[in-house]
Structure 1
């Protein structure tokens, strides 16, 4: 069996294929894990033409104009020549392209689409998605709740097409078990969706009973920096909250391995890359109760969930975290990552869905 991953994202600020693959390692690691069992190829649209072999995957790169994505005749002709048994398309925002792809592939080729945090489409794209859905065999969502708006909008016709598969993974590793049990970490943009204000308000409440705990906030961009700094000043948190800006991605592994807990206060995520990376390093998750985080924690079996946007609920969850056996809990987190969030786990789940469909 041959599986081809296909991305319609046109990234013209990337001209080095190796650099690009390293940048998207949370996706490429899945393809490379799958390649240990079946033939895998992957197609990308960057500012480079050529192929590259890496970890048993053949990566194809095409340089296309914008019109070449809207009417991807050349791209689809190229993909058709790969003669895939299964095509997995990244993202639910390309229904027009999917309709054209369906008319290009051989009839026995099967199409799956992986959700990357998109929300139901509007206007003409909604019409195209309903049409494209007729020949899409299945969809990979991190958690079934994320698919509900698509089903309600009739852009996915049947619940049976939705399969719970983690969106991304992490290549980071747990390298330090002797870490500060009172150190918490938050990673993200300072914006309304990531909600650092609830983070600070909740942590401030928690500090009143746990004054020796420390929160590190690693951020890049966002519109709420002044509000964040104002809360830190007003609540006198400067001794307990550390702000760090623009940490290179590779250096995050060190910060994860210095922290016992990871906090996420997001209102919406397709999965949660930072949380996944933190869990791969053994950080115990304290997360807002949204669909993707429900899945990642095994529906709350590993970690602590709280109502999103509720600072008191966050403080209560943090209070619970202060009483656990951290070493024992860390082992449970690492087991959850290995079984459900790792590259191998995701690749195996995708192949299981594909093979079950072939048997049916």
Structure 2
């Protein structure tokens, strides 16, 4: 049986118990329970405590460590070496020094795979270390292969490198009764759109509001509900809304919502809307689709992958309010119930935790048989 270690160098220092990690990161961890003894598997993670634990039948080893670029947990490296893994799956491209040392500790018999999580390429000495650390990995994992292009252009990943596509997360959210969800959330438009995300430049809420304002000329009874976790552009967003009678009447800034309540919001809404310019993946998009909320998202690689190139959703160019307005206008008259059911079915068949586990097993078997 192939022995795989899933290794994260980033330390969640605000967590003091294993259950904290599982509770806050189940979207990225719950796939492991679906591996079903097809791999000899364990997680190795860093947090504010040191402990071994088994959760959901999956073994975890936690070590204390820092998040300084130069910090190294030799205790972690010795632990991984002693496991004698066939493959180490390193989460993220942000700690190249640690990956270089991992290679020295484990030797050439261990294959190292690196999984992208929206990481960016570094400049200067950090960028140089990225080239040394990651250029000779056995393989790389991206949500969409197109996201690897910048890493290849910078010489961090070879042009002929083996690149696999794999979701970095899924969700356990389930569709709720639409009418009950509408009652609980207060969603009451003729056509209802939901924004879930940070209010930052990359998410581009202003472009979304601009496009939605144009769409309201076609469908003045539509409503947009905005749930957000951070408020970087809240002043600008409020100014945009308050400067427009149409937006003032048809946009509701909800603010923060408890994760447990989100399924009701996704289930009550008809469409999930996003304006992102760049994403490694998208937890909110996956949550929406799991509840049958139809995506209207930007045509970036990860969203194209998740929506199967717009077959299960609608795509528009990022930063283009006019294109967004045109896409929204084209939605009028469509069978929302049918589209919602199709979206949900596609999620269950292609984007679930089990699918992630199956795909990861296939990747490991492909590498070991190479």
TM-score by length of structure 2 reads 0.92
1:345 to 342, 349, 355: 355
Q: Tell me, yes or no, if structure 1 residue 127 matches structure 2 residue 131.
A: no
Q: Could you tell which deviates more after superposition, 109-118 or 238-247?
A: 238-247
1:41-61 deviations in whole A, cap 9, x for unaligned? 101111111111112210111
- Aligned twin of 2:25: 24
The answer as to whether partners of 2:15 and 2:48 remain within 8 angstroms in 1 is: yes
Question: How much is the aligned-residue C-alpha RMSD, in angstroms?
Answer: 1.8
- Mapped partners of 1:285, 1:68: distance in 2: 37
CA drift of 1:65 comes to: 4.7
Cα deviation code 1:296-324 (max 9, x no counterpart): 11011111101111111111111122232
Work out which of the residue numbers 197, 203, 222 in structure 2 matches 1:188.
Answer: 197
Q: Write out per-residue CA displacement over residues 189-238 of structure 1, whole angstroms, 9 at most, x where no aligned residue.
A: 11111111011111111111111111110012232111111121111123
Q: 1:277 to 1:132 in 2, by over 3 A?
A: same
Secondary structure of the structure 2 residue equivalent to 1:286: strand
For the 8 Å contact 2:196–2:227, the answer to whether it is kept is yes
Q: Where does residue 284 of structure 1 map in the other structure?
A: 294
- CA positional deviation for 1:67: 7.1
Alpha-carbon distance change, 133 to 226 in structure 1, aligned in 2, over 3 angstroms? closer
SS in structure 1 at match of 2:272: strand
Equivalent residue, structure 2, for 1:48: 49
Residue 183 of structure 1: how far off its partner (Å): 1.2
2:226 equivalent to 1:225: no
Q: Which runs of 5+ in 1 are unaligned?
A: none
Compare 338-347 and 179-188 and name the one that shifted more. Answer: 179-188
Shift of 1:292: 0.8
Distance in 1, matches of 2:344 and 2:117, equals: 24
Q: 1:291 deviation in Å?
A: 1.0
Q: Name which of 323, 326, 334 aligns with 1:313.
A: 323
Higher deviation after alignment, 174-183 or 316-325: 174-183
SS of the residue aligned with 2:14? coil
Q: Is contact 1:150–1:156 with CA below 8 Å preserved after alignment?
A: yes
Deviation above 4 Å: which 4+ runs of structure 1? 65-69, 177-181
**Is the 8 Å Cα contact of residues 143 and 164 (structure 1) preserved in structure 2?**
yes
Paired positions, count = 360
**Alpha-carbon separation, structure 1, partners of 2:148 and 2:135:** 16
Equivalents in 2 of 1:5, 1:351: separation in Å?
A: 13
| Comparing 134-143 and 279-288, the one that deviates more | 134-143
User: Would the aligned equivalents of 1:173 and 1:281 in 2 still touch at CA under 8 Å?
Assistant: yes
> Gaps (5+ residues) in structure 2?
183-187
Give the superposition deviation at 1:35: 4.4
1:215 aligns with 2:224: yes
Structure 2: how far apart are the matches of 1:221 and 1:295?
A: 26
- The aligned residue for residue 312 of structure 2 is 302
Map residues 240-279 of structure 1 onto 2, 5 A cutoff.
Answer: 240-279=250-289
